A and B are shown apart, each in its own frame.
Chain A
Amino acid sequence: MRASPAPAPPEATALEFHDLTVAYHTKPVLWDVDLSVPSGHLVAVVGPNGAGKSTLLKSALGLVPLSSGYVRVFGQAYDDVRTRVAYVPQRESVDWDFPASVFDVVLMGRYGRRGWFRRPDAGDRRTAREALERVGMAEYADRQISRLSGGQQQRTFLARALAQDADLYMMDEPFAGVDAVTERAIIALLRELRDRGRTVVCVHHDLQTVREYFDWVVLLNMRLVAAGPVDEAFLTEKLQATYGGRLGILETAATQLLTERQGRSTK
């Protein structure tokens, strides 16, 4: 019951990675990745721990130095299309005891768009409030961020990204450590974005929900293993190639079991 195809966005390609290699110190994290992600899809980036999934997102956002290759966003350098991209970092990457309210954090989503030396105006505040409503957090606007549950923290980050009103959303594990209700609310929101022609790219860990949630998938383990529509790329042998390489026999068997079960349940 997938929604009807989105109206064609101005660019057919949201993200292009050309011969991308990224290394931290001397250890390569991404190796020679060539990848085009079409726009208007809900995309999962899947792979084992340390496969370079987060780094792939960060390389597109200009947040890590590239060893070689280049990345294009909507066909341009990131700095030229920055206002069209919203990033949702991992929830654990910040200290939630920081003195700020939920609304303060969501308002940060407007900073990049409205000029740095101007105070946020009534329009910015309205956009931030609307973003909070869309994630079901309107009544938490004045809540201290130190008093949020994990799911509420994730919703706050999502609202901040929504307040940026972007065309491309890059999310690092938006479902990590959230409750079932939040997970359903988030996926509904991501589908709504996709159905309005936006592109959403998520680092995702739960192989079981890939088919249900996403329509496009990137399998990554330092190198690009496969990419494409879920039906074409999310296949048992591709998953084995993704997870098999670095894992022991036991884990390979577990992955196999998991994907077999998945294969059965979707038939």
Chain B
Amino acid sequence: MKNSYDIPLPTVTAKPFDVQRIREDFPILKQIINGKPLVYLDNAATSQKPRAVIDAMNRYYMEENSNIHRGVHYLSELATQSYEAARIKIQKHINAAHPQEVIFVRGTTEAINLVSHSYGRYNFKAGDEIIISAMEHHSNIVPWQLLRDEKDIAIRIIPINDKGELFIDKYEKMFNERTKLVAVVHVSNVLGTINPVKEMIEIAHRNSVPVLVDGAQAVPHMLVDVQDLDCDFYAFSGHKMYGPTGVGVLFGKLNLLEAMPPYQSGGDMIRSVSFEKTIYNDLPHKFEAGTPNIAGGVGMGATIDYINQIDYDAAIQHEHRLMIYATEALLTIKGLRIIGTAKEKSSAISFVLENIHPHDIGTILDDDGIAIRTGHHCAQPLMKCFEVPATARASFGIYNTKEEIDALVKGIYKVIKVFS
């Protein structure tokens, strides 16, 4: 088949990758849905979890459960060690300089809210500007709109071309002395576009503007090095990278985090409290008020262990090959249009069918056990850019196979047949 889209083929020599062995690690993939084997292509919404993660969380509850950072007893020590060990695993995984730059949060959404509430509210004043892009998820739009209404700041939007790529030249011209922050998505959850964040950060830094990167869809599909990117904040979720729900990370540069006021307040984030004055705890605890999702943190640590234990480079290459295979296969279907044809793409393909609504595509595919996402993907402004009310989206993980893509294509032909 001809590579009819301008998508780069992997340049490195393909590494052997035993996808069947990986599939064995994910118990849920054995499910039968509507009498058919599950074909899970909704990984951008949430990924499945390997047994190692599920076991680690079970083990935590069975053998270690206790509250952290406050007990002198054995289990409390054990739980604290497991939780803090997870922080260090994550620090190493994203190559942060210090463990206290890794703040545990509920997920990407909370990470961005933390920055908008603490950094934004503390540093922005009326007339200031922040820059976001046209392909942001609602979670990187709405927190800034709330702040805009509160502080009277302006939000400027980096436009995109019809392939779904940001206009970097226009972005470069958006800076002025009022620009206070860039908040941009690393990989679009709808288009799959990989934005050139390193270059964008460099441009922002030339203008002395810090950058927050929404990495929810990037961390699961590539190795992210926060020091190499030189990003000021980087937000991601555990559950999209084969980890548990309800836990995620805000990476922030030490000097920025130290200068920021707390986001939430309560236990664990204080050093001393009297009714006259409260002294805040050191990083990272200053931003981790209350009892955290300890099992979630432990689970996220187990995810990193899992990623390190498999050949992750080979897994990423496998995903990339799948995306190319799927793109080519989908384009053979008459009346199918792919939304998002950027040169640099990650593992998500949005598409629409002529005269058939994505919602109907989703229901009919589900009948064959094929799980995809349909709708606006929490990116309504982006839907408007492409003049579609919604799209269907197939998104891949390390355990997906070519056979599953074939099932998807077959399923789409069935959709077309129902409506013919």
A and B pair up? no
Chain B residues proximal to chain A, CB less than 8 Å: none
